[in-house]
Amino acid sequence: MTLLQVADLDCRYGLLQAVRGVSFEVGPGETLALIGANGAGKTTLLRALAGAHRPHAGRIVFDGADVTSLSAHRRVGLGVALVPEGRRLFGGLTVEENLLVAGRGRRGPWSVASVLELFPMLQARRRMPAVTLSGGEQQAVAIGRALMSNPRLLLLDEISLGLAPVVVDAVYRSLQDVIRSGASIVLVEQDLTRALKVAGRVVCMLEGRIVLEGEAASLDRDRVVAAYFGLRRSA
> Is 149 a binder of other proteins (CB under 8 A)?
yes
Amino acid found at 106: R
Measured from the CB of residue 123, what is the shortest distance to other proteins in angstroms? 20
Query: Which window, 1-9, 11-19, 99-107, 167-175, contacts other proteins (CB under 8 A)?
Result: 99-107
CB 54 within 8 A of CB 44: no
Q: State yes or no: residue 54 binds other proteins (CB under 8 A).
A: no
Contacts of 35 (CB under 8 A, 6+ apart): 42, 188, 189, 190, 192, 195, 202, 203, 204, 205, 224, 228
Q: Which residue number, 138 or 212, has a Cβ lying nearer to other proteins?
A: 138
Q: What is the chain's alpha carbon radius of gyration, rounded to the nearest angstrom?
A: 17
Using CB under 8 A, which of the segments 4-12, 108-116, 143-151, 165-173 binds other proteins? 143-151
Residues 39, 51: Cα–Cα separation, whole Å: 20
Stretch that binds other proteins, among 4-12, 55-63, 79-87, 224-232 (CB under 8 A): 79-87
CB 159 within 8 A of CB 145: no
Q: Provide the binding-site residues for other proteins, judged by CB under 8 A.
A: 50-52, 71-73, 76-77, 81-82, 84, 88-93, 97-98, 100-102, 104-105, 145-146, 149
